[in-house]
Structure formats: C-alpha cells, structure tokens
C-alpha cells in the first residue's frame, strides 16, 4: 500500500482499503477449490452498480451484533480519531500520526470481521455471479409449450422493435431480407435476455441483484416482465454466448445506447471486432411503440461485466459450472462426486432459503438513489 495519509474515507472506501492485498489470507472453499475473497469483494465494491448499497450491506453483516461492534471499537481505539465507527452517513478518520495501513491491520485482527467479509463475498459469488452465469432451468414438461409460446412472443416483439437484423453483429435472421436491407451474414437470431431468464426462478439471484443495484429488482424479473422487450436483444448464437459471459455490454446514458467491449478484440468474435468501443446502437428504429432496452438493466449487466473482469472470476466460475454439468450427467465418482454434489446441493438449498425473500427485505425506498443514468466507468 502506497497511501500514507490521514484523510477521511467513506464507508465504501474504508472497506476497499481494508481489503487491499495483505499477509492475512481471506478465502473460502467451494467444489474443493479455494476461492480468493479479496479480488471478488473489491471488484463488487469498486464496480457494483450501487457501490454504497453493497458497502452498507457488507458493513451491516460485520456489525450485526453488540459483541462485534464492541470488538471493533476496542481494536480501533488506538487509531480512530473520531471514535465513531464507519457508517453509511460518516466515514473513518485515522488519528494522527496513524496511517491507513495501520488501520487496516487493526480491522483484520477481528475474526468476526474476517468471517463476515468471507461469508458476504461467498454469498455474492454463489447467489449472484455463479447463478447468473449458470444454465437456465429447463421447464417441466407441462410448462414447455407455454415457455415456447412466451419465447416466440418475446422474439416477435424484438423483431417489431428492431427489424430482422441484429444491431450487434449485423446478422440477418434466416429468411429472405427486405429489399435493400444491409447485413453481414445470415443466421437464426435468438431473443437474448439482458438479465438472464434464470432470474425468474432464482429468488437468491433476485435478492443479490437488488442489493447490487440498490433497488428492488423483483418486479422487473418475475412473471411476464422477464420476457418484456425492455429486457431483450436480438443476437446471433455466438454473440449471445459472449453477452451471457459478460465479454461485452451495453452502456446507457441519457437514452443513448453504446457498445462497450470488456475484453480485447482477440477474445471476441470477428463480427464484434468490427465495432468500435463506444459505438452507438439505435434500438427501436423500426417501431418506437415497443419498449427499448431498459437503461437500468443494461447498466446493471455492464456493471456485472466489470466485476467479473476485474475479479478474474470467469475461469473459476466456468470450471465450477463444468463440474456441475459433469455431476448432473453422472460423469463423476468417488471423493470428487461427493465434493461436487455437496457444493451443488448447498447452492440449490440457498435458492430454497431465499424463496421467502420479497422487496420489503431489499434496500429501503428512502435509502435508494435515483440512478436512472448511472453508468459504471473507469475511475
């Protein structure tokens, strides 16, 4: 750490400082894999859509008992200028000549705080990142015809809004184009969800997204709303896969949509490489009567992309999802089967435990900020 000042830091800045690399290990184990806590927690606090909401949630976890609060006060007594613990309303000021490096070491002497940081990070890793990048649940046989009709109607609305050529990639849907239609290739386009359809059946994901976004997301991601055109894009298969793995996103500011590449062109498709980072996308050119992509959902997706990139979480998440796929296909055995099965069951039980979550459990209405044009940008 190079900063040796005594400046006041906000709650979010204080937590980021505490999480800077140090000698004390912070990890949790999942699928017999050791997952590092610091890069994930730091990325959430630095790149989350509502960083204050995430910081408040972590601090609430760390101070949810009188014993935890008293221990923190005792540890910080020698270096706290104001004797007031950080909160959403007040920051933290080191007592001179103490530095932030000393403050950080004091914080991490609290086993309760370390355990809180680890459990909080694990919750967001499993409930948000792993779940949102996992496969969607296959509908039951009795529901498949309804699901197919809903998906067909969803795609038809996107055609009505944007025409038969995808705005990202310039791919024409596989039937004869209108005269004069400019396109690069022909393929069957897919109706892609900005926030995946799986959010409809994963209450733990909706709960985590509500904290991540700083506002209730329940009503936007359940029932018919999950298939609303405001949550949809027309994409070819490969571009859909890259969008779902957060290789690129869409930035929305003042009703203007721009493509944002989160990785170099060599890690994207040739079609995506044709576009410049920040190139404008003109949704709704065919019909202004069909809702355009939601600015909130686009920016939340982009913020998630920044978190995945900055935490370098993608390779480990991909490995875990492959483990679970092998487990479900019966391709594992022995101790590996037991470890994978136990972790997979844990994640499924988390979803059941979150099924009682409602918007009343999410961020308070008074505490939410109007972030309609909030965009995560490089510092």
DSSP 34: E
Q: Is the pLDDT of residue 186 over 70?
A: no
Torsion angle of the four alpha carbons 304, 310, 312, 314, in this order, in degrees rounded to the nearest 10: 20
**Residues 6 or more apart in contact with residue 44 via CB below 8 angstroms:** 54, 121, 124, 212, 307, 311
CA distance 107 to 71: 10
- Produce one character per residue of 31-61: b if its CB has 16 or more CB atoms within 10 Å, e if not: beeebbbbbbbbbbbbbbbbbbbbbbbbbeb
Once rounded to an integer, what is the mean pLDDT over residues 107-124? 90
In this structure, what are the phi and psi dihedrals at residue 28, rounded to the nearest 5 degrees?
-135, 160
Beta carbons of 107 and 24 less than 8 angstroms apart: no
In this structure, are strands 185-187 and 171-173 parallel, antiparallel, or unpaired? parallel
* Range with lowest mean pLDDT among 107-116, 166-175, 275-284: 166-175
Residue 141's pLDDT is 46
Q: Which of 76-80, 227-231, 341-345 has the highest mean pLDDT?
A: 227-231
Q: Is the pLDDT of residue 11 over 60?
A: yes
Residue 366's pLDDT is 34
* Element (DSSP H or E) covering residue 264: none
CA distance 347 to 123: 10
CA distance 135 to 133: 7
Residue 21's pLDDT is 84
CA distance 71 to 168: 53
Pairwise pLDDT comparison (140 vs 14), residue with the higher score: 14
Map residue 254 onto helix, strand or coil. Answer: coil
Q: Is residue 260 very low, low, confident or very high in pLDDT (cuts 50, 70, 90)?
A: very high
* Range with lowest mean pLDDT among 100-104, 145-149, 202-206, 289-293: 145-149
Residue 135's pLDDT is 79
CA distance 234 to 229: 10
Question: DSSP readout, 165-187?
Answer: B-TTT-EEESSPPPTT---SEEE
What is the chain's mean pLDDT, rounded?
82
Q: Is the pLDDT of residue 228 over 60?
A: yes
Residue 235's pLDDT is 94
Residue 221's pLDDT is 93
Pairwise pLDDT comparison (207 vs 171), residue with the higher score: 207
CA distance 223 to 206: 13
Map residue 249 onto helix, strand or coil. Answer: strand
Residues above pLDDT 70, as percent of the chain: 78
The whole-model pTM stands at 0.84
Please write the tens of the pLDDT for every residue from 354-379: 665 444 444 443 333 333 333 333 33
Cα separations in angstroms, 248 against 50, 168, 242, 263, 266: 20, 11, 7, 7, 13
Does 346 sit behind a cis peptide bond, omega within 30 degrees of 0 on the bond before it?
no
Which residues partner with 233 through β-bridges? 192
Nearest CA to 375 out of 255, 271, 289, 268 is that of 255
Q: Is residue 80 very low, low, confident or very high in pLDDT (cuts 50, 70, 90)?
A: low
Once rounded to an integer, what is the mean pLDDT over residues 17-37? 88
Q: Is the pLDDT of residue 251 over 90?
A: yes
Nearest CA to 114 out of 47, 44, 38, 48 is that of 38
Residue 178's pLDDT is 53
């Amino acid at each position: 750490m190079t900063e040796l000042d005594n400046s006041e830091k906000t709650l979010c800045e204080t937590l980021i400082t505490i999480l800077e690399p140090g000698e004390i290990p912070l990890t949790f184990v999942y699928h017999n894999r050791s997952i590092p806590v610091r890069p994930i927690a730091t990325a959430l606090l630095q790149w989350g859509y509502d960083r204050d909401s995430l910081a408040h949630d972590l601090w609430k976890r760390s101070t949810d008992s009188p014993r935890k609060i008293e221990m923190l006060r005792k540890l910080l007594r020698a270096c706290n200028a104001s004797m007031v613990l950080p909160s959403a309303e007040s920051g933290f000021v080191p007592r001179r000549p103490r530095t932030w490096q000393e403050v950080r070491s004091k914080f991490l002497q609290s086993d309760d705080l370390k355990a809180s940081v680890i459990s909080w990070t694990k919750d967001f890793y499993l409930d948000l990142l792993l779940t949102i990048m996992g496969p969607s649940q296959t509908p039951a046989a009795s529901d498949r015809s309804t699901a197919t009709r809903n998906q067909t109607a969803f795609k038809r609305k996107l055609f009505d809004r944007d025409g038969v050529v995808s705005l990202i990639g310039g791919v024409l849907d596989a039937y004869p184009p209108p005269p004069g239609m400019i396109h690069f290739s022909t393929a069957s386009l897919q109706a892609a969800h900005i926030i995946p359809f799986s959010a409809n059946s994963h209450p733990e994901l909706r709960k985590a997204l509500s904290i991540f976004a700083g506002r209730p997301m329940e009503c936007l991601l359940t029932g018919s709303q999950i298939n609303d055109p405001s949550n949809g894009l027309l994409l070819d298969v490969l571009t859909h896969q890259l969008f779902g793995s957060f290789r690129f996103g869409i930035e929305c500011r003042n009703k203007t949509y721009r493509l944002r590449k989160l990785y170099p062109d060599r890690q994207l498709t040739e079609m995506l490489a044709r576009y410049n980072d920040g190139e404008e996308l003109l949704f709704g050119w065919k019909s202004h009567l069909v809702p355009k992509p939601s600015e909130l959902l686009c920016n939340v997706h982009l913020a998630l992309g920044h978190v995945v990139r900055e935490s370098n979480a993608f390779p480990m998440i991909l490995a875990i999802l492959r483990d679970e796929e092998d487990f479900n296909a019966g391709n594992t055995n022995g101790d590996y089967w037991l470890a994978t099965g136990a972790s997979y069951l844990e994640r499924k039980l988390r979803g059941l435990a979150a099924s009682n979550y409602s918007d009343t459990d999410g961020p308070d209405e008074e505490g939410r900020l109007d972030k309609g044009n909030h965009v995560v940008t490089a510092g």
